[in-house]
Chain A
Amino acid sequence: MQQHSDIRDAEAHKLPFLGDKAPALPFPLSICFVSSLLLPNSSLSLQEPLSALAAEYQSGSPILLQKIKLLSDQYAAIRRTRGDGNCFFRSFMFAYLEHILQTQDRTEVDRVKLNVEECRKTLQSLGYADFTFEDFFALFLEQLDNALQGNDDSISHEELVTRSRDQSVSDYIVMFFRFVTSGEIRKRSAFFEPFILGLTNATVEQFCKSSVEPMGEESDHVHITALSDALGVPIRVVYLDRSSCDTGEVAVNHHDFVPASDGNPAKVAEGTTKPFVTLLYRPGHYDILYPK
């Protein structure tokens, strides 16, 4: 087990926390282009087209290759995140903050801040001491404000990328999301309990202590549902796996995590029909997808 995680760590560290955004290339790919992407070290520094994904599966399942081709019709680019168990939270962090930076949507920032305050109260009422989580909350709120332009401490897109690769910022924000997720699951434990029992044999509290709060613990649909609900941010997850329809026709499945509004529409971000955070899921890993 230890050896397994050592290998995973070593593999994971070949990639920065967050990769470069890579444009999609027109399909079909010529084989020789594909093989040039397979050169050693290319995974780290080169800009990666969506088609680099195809290269990975070149000798693999034809279903996957077909699906990647379908993806390239709808999606322009992919940005990879490090496979260190935090990829869902890290992908969400960057995709969300990048959205704020690009849209300058102050209404959304104000809305999400109200939900963050709710999360703070949730943790307090669950008995968490303020000093255990407040630094993580403060850093996320700071990033939100910095993403809005027109202040002395406003940041550029480049700076957002730099920060997302800086462990002292990136890991703290991942941890902020872990606190928020854990608080939401425990607050609504009756709702989440059956899903958690389906995953493990643990109680809700054990699950949060062992599979949500520790860094490096991978995320499942329980985590995504809870985070999306807590912050009121819809998330689209596109699944790239080997499953195919009975009809023999290949289609790429996606699932939209649409937060519950609890009768208060102001709690949820706009765009519930087309979430602005889109992630690509391959068994065991999340990356960011950019729609065309």
Chain B
Amino acid sequence: MQASRARLFKEYKEVQREKSADPDIQLVCDDSNIFKWTALIKGPSETPFDGGVFQLAFAVPEQYPLQPPQVRFLTKIFHPNVHFKTGEICLDILKNAWSPAWTLQSVCRAIIALMAHPEPDSPLNCDSGNLLRSGDVRGYQSMARMYTRLAASPKKG
């Protein structure tokens, strides 16, 4: 508990210090609870998520950083490795490939990389995965782009 708090505090300071270093990620700690974080990440360019801003919720366990944070999308997203209803993410580093060398910030980068490089063979969203597996890239992209417009685009005006 003490160790995880100390580590998170260091990450917090690092995030403050490096605020402008990664313009695609905005990581914010909850005002009253250092174990709760949210992030806003920009959809990578040349993907159907381009132009969208996606919100992630982090729940950090007491055994952090020996145990990975739990991360899910709060913003609806059509992606083979993200559960369409719960926002749960299927990513090895959030499960058995986790190590304390990762940080909340680098997890965000890994999620952006996952958005650009979906792994349709281990789908949490089967509809999305099946489109890619059957080679219907166009179908996948137009569905994903539609949800980016509907759910992840900043409201105008």
Binding site for B on A (CB under 8 A): 5, 128-129, 131-133, 135-136, 168, 171-172, 175, 178-179, 182, 209-210, 213-216
Contact = CB atoms under 8 A, between A and B. Distances in A.
6 contacts: A132-B65, A172-B3, A175-B100, A210-B92, A213-B99, A215-B98
B66 A132 contact: no
Contact of A131 (B3, B11, B96): B11
Nearest to B102: A132
Given A175-B66, A216-B96, 18 more contacts: A129-B14, A129-B103, A131-B7, A132-B100, A135-B3, A135-B6, A135-B7, A171-B66, A172-B3, A172-B66, A175-B100, A179-B101, A182-B101, A210-B97, A213-B99, A213-B100, A214-B99, A215-B98
B133 interface: no
Nearest to B98: A214
Contact of B101 (A5, A132, A168): A132
Contacts of B99: 175, 178, 209, 213-215
A98 B99 CA distance: 27
B106 to A, nearest CB: 9
Given A129-B14, A132-B103, A175-B66, A214 B97 contact: yes
B11 to A, nearest CB: 7
B10 interface: yes
Contacts of B66: 171-172, 175, 215
Interface in B5-45: 6-7, 10-11, 14
Interface of B: 3, 6-7, 10-11, 14, 65-66, 92, 96-103
A210 B96 CA distance: 9
B101 A213 contact: yes
A200 to B, nearest CB: 13
Contacts of B98: 214-215
Secondary structure at the A interface, as helix, strand, loop or mixed, is helix
A214 B66 CA distance: 9
A105 B81 CA distance: 53
Contacts of A214: 96-99
Closest 5 CB pairs of A and B: A213-B99, A131-B10, A214-B99, A132-B101, A214-B97
A171 B6 CA distance: 17
B53 to A, nearest CB: 26
A135 B64 CA distance: 12
B68 to A, nearest CB: 10
Nearest to A131: B10
Nearest to B1: A168
B101 A128 contact: yes
B101 A133 contact: yes
A161 B52 CA distance: 53
B15 to A, nearest CB: 11
A128 B65 CA distance: 15
Nearest to B11: A131
A128 B102 CA distance: 9
Contacts of A216: 96
A132 B10 CA distance: 9
Given A135-B3, A135-B6, A209 B97 contact: yes
A123 to B, nearest CB: 9
Nearest to B10: A131
Given A209-B97, A215-B66, A168 B103 contact: no
B100 to A, nearest CB: 6
Contacts of A182: 101
A178 B7 CA distance: 18
Nearest to A171: B66
B100 A136 contact: yes
A191 to B, nearest CB: 21
A17 B125 CA distance: 39
Contacts of B101: 128, 132-133, 179, 182, 209, 213
Nearest to B18: A129
A128 B101 CA distance: 7
B96 A133 contact: no
B8 to A, nearest CB: 10
B14 A168 contact: no
A172 B64 CA distance: 11
